[in-house]
Amino acid sequence: MRQKPTVLAREIVASSRLFRVEEMQLRFSNGVERTYERLVGRGAGYGAVMIVAMIDEDHALLIEEYCGGTDEYELSLPKGLIEPGEDVLAAADRELKEEAGYGARQLEHITELSLSPGYMSQKIQVVLATDLYEERLEGDEPEPMRVDRVNLRELSMLAQNEQFSEGRALAALYLVRDLLTQRGAFTA
């Protein structure tokens, strides 16, 4: 295993309501020194969850929401922050109810994904939700979200959809499709 660089100094150089920009002075094992910047979340950092909710054996739910980063309405998987004291599966069920209007009788943690580990510290927990039932909770969204679905056999077409661009969501869908195929619950 490679030796991690030595941190010579850390400093928060910018801050907003959601993020802080941290500057890190590093020295690598070969003596080279570099300055790195990374986005770090604010607060205690309880994490986030993304849900692949299977409405039937072939289809996962998607939600459409306004995304400030792209300034567009985008399709993605239901997701949100884990609240203090909440475990991953409880957060997944709550977010699914708030964003898509469904609860799940079966929840399974699949993996953890990062977005851009070169400059972002945030990670997201991927949860598979099955045996869904209708139930809506009021969330913090500024407007109702449109709920759509995607056939796991058509993920390459989803990747071509101009309204779908989130790499983590696509990775999560492929991972779940492969997992369900291995279990014999889905035949690709």
In the block, tokens 């996962």 appear at 60
Long-range contacts (CB closer than 8 Å, 24 or more residues apart) made by 138-143 = 138/98, 139/80, 139/95, 139/98, 139/99, 140/98, 141/65, 141/98, 141/99, 142/66, 143/66
Q: What pLDDT, in 10s, does the model give residues 100-111? A: 999 999 999 999
Residue that wins the pLDDT comparison between 172 and 69: 172
Summarised one tens digit per residue, pLDDT across range 170-183 is 999 999 999 999 98
Strand 146-151: give its sheet, edge to edge: 72-76, 59-67, 146-151
Q: Number of C-alpha atoms within 13 angstroms, CB side, residue 151?
A: 5
Give residues with Cβ within 8 angstroms of 25, minimum separation 6.
7, 8, 9, 10, 33, 34, 35
pLDDT at 83 over 70: yes
| Rounded Cα distance, 5 and 26, in Å | 6
The pLDDT assigned to 44 comes to: 47
| Mean pLDDT of the 82-106 span | 95
Give me the pLDDT at residue 112, please.
Answer: 92
Share the mean pLDDT of the chain. 90
| C-alpha span between 47 and 66 (Å, rounded) | 21
- Distances from the Cα of 69 to the Cα of 58, 74, 161, 165, angstroms: 30, 10, 18, 11
Q: What is the mean pLDDT of residues 16-27?
A: 86
